[in-house]
Amino acid sequence: MVPIYIISMAIAFSFYFGGAQVFFWYKYLIAFLWAISYLGVCVFKNRKIKGNSATIIKIYVYPLLMIMAWSLFIFIFHAPSGANTGNITRMVSNILYLILAITSAISTTYFFGKKVIKYSVWAILISILANLIYCIHLYGMGVFLQYLPQAALSTDFPFGSVLYNFASCIEVQDATLATGFYILYFVLFDEEDNFRTKMMYIIILLICSYLGFKRTEFIAVLFTGIVMWLIKESQIDISLMIKVIGIILLIFSFGYICIVKWDVFQIIVDKIGADVTGRQNVYRNLAKYYEISPIYIGKGFTFVDKTMYDTTGFAAHNTIVRMYAELGFIPFIIWIIWYIMNIPLKILNKFGRKNTLIVMTSTLYLFLTYCIGNSMNFYCIQYSFILITVATMNNNEKSRYRKVKFKI
């Protein structure tokens, strides 16, 4: 069953292949089959889902259902200009995909326990290597060898050059950004493997990360790693740190929203001389879709992202600002507080300090990738975000359920 998992997830983790986007229904189908393989049986046989699976579903699926309900309200009673049934179907399909990422992670953990983390690393490696081999086939080994020492400078390649086209071909986005979760886990929390095993997985992940180099990931891993290491090694009350981080992120998010709205982003970019690959133009367009006001209602989940892509060919490339534009002022605050504060506090009360630190680490990294990308749209990222949380809190749920059944 392990080879089936690795191969199927290598396919599901592939967002781009050879520079072309992989069909979404592949991911939907694979995630759906893994989800029903365990959770479907639970519902069919026991009429309910129990244990830690039920806990994870409640705390992670509930906000998605609330987002869907709120968006339906907006589309029906306060529809933005240009809204149609296509926006509703896109919103529902995106919510279902996020739910499938959660439920498939729970199901695969049931079958493989904590080892599913390592199996997922191999799936990511296969996904990235398969794309690499195909790109080398298209452009030749010479171009790859020329690209290899310059991967971190890929944004500086002249537009339309061979190196630029090869970098675009090799960029898979989803799996590359997802490696950050696993790097942080093996560096900060893997206390079971010996040094050699741990280093082997870290090196594999660093290679995968470098091949499709993303500055967003590098900065997010570095920042998250330092912050969480300091918290992990300190004796500070963890519940206090959750609240402090939550408040800081909330203030930062609203500051970021204002920066984009008032076009200060362009000034900052010019000041530091950063190459943001045209994001300042994308954000200038994004700013047209929202207002900064306590009574701002929002446009509905996925409306802004879909409309921008349909009209300009570029999605929002900023999940934080996009979620504000789509959810509205008050729901956006609730969304931030739920993920950054409410979920870690629930995990702390139920599972203890170590599991809470893992959840905080994954959540902080995820939200940092949200600052300058579309990572909410990527299956591998959303799946890995939940997977590490579930796998580390529940090493062998399968055997535990057998024990419960035996006692009954």
Contact between residue 26 and residue 12 where contact means Cβ atoms under 8 Å apart: yes
pLDDT of residue 348: 94
How many Å apart are CA 287 and CA 61, to the nearest integer? 29
pLDDT of residue 219: 92
293 CA to centre of own chain? 28
**Residue recorded with tokens 């179907």:** 89
Helix extents (H) in 172-318: 174-188, 195-211, 215-233, 238-261, 264-272, 279-286, 303-312
**Residue recorded with tokens 């905080």:** 360
Contact between residue 325 and residue 304 where contact means Cβ atoms under 8 Å apart: yes
How many Å apart are CA 176 and CA 172, to the nearest integer? 6
pLDDT of residue 406: 26
pLDDT of residue 408: 27
How many Å apart are CA 85 and CA 67, to the nearest integer? 17
* DSSP code for 16: E
Count CA atoms closer than 13 A to 127's CA, side-chain side.
33
Contact between residue 336 and residue 330 where contact means Cβ atoms under 8 Å apart: no
Q: What is the pLDDT along the chain (408 residues), one digit of tens a residue?
A: 899 999 999 999 998 888 788 888 888 999 999 999 887 777 666 666 777 888 899 999 999 999 999 999 999 999 999 999 999 999 999 999 999 999 999 999 989 999 999 999 999 999 999 999 999 999 999 999 998 888 776 666 777 888 888 888 888 888 999 999 999 999 999 989 999 999 999 999 999 998 877 788 899 999 999 999 999 998 889 999 999 999 999 999 999 999 999 989 888 887 877 667 778 889 999 999 999 999 999 999 999 999 999 998 888 889 999 999 999 999 999 999 999 999 999 999 999 999 999 999 999 999 999 998 889 989 999 999 999 999 998 543 343 333 323 232
How many Å apart are CA 116 and CA 290, to the nearest integer? 41
**Residue recorded with tokens 């095993």:** 197
Q: What is the dihedral of CA 85, 89, 95, 98, to 10 degrees?
A: -150
Write the CA distances from 307 to 81, 111, 165, 249, 379, integer angstroms.
Answer: 10, 40, 27, 27, 21
Q: Which two tokens stand for residue 1?
A: 């069953």
Contact between residue 178 and residue 125 where contact means Cβ atoms under 8 Å apart: no
pLDDT of residue 399: 34
pLDDT of residue 19: 77
Q: Where are the domains of the chain?
A: 1-213, 215-377
Tell me the one-letter amino acid at 112: F
pLDDT of residue 154: 61
Q: Which two tokens stand for residue 194?
A: 């010996």
pLDDT of residue 203: 97
Tell me whether residue 194 is exposed, middle or buried, using C-beta atoms within 10 angstroms of its C-beta: 0 to 12, 13 to 18, 19 or more.
exposed
Helix H, strand E, coil C: the string for 282-342 is: HHHHHHHHCCCCCCCCCCCCCHHHHHHHHHHCCCCCCHHHHHHHHHCHHHHHHHHHHHHHH
β-bridge partners, 275: none
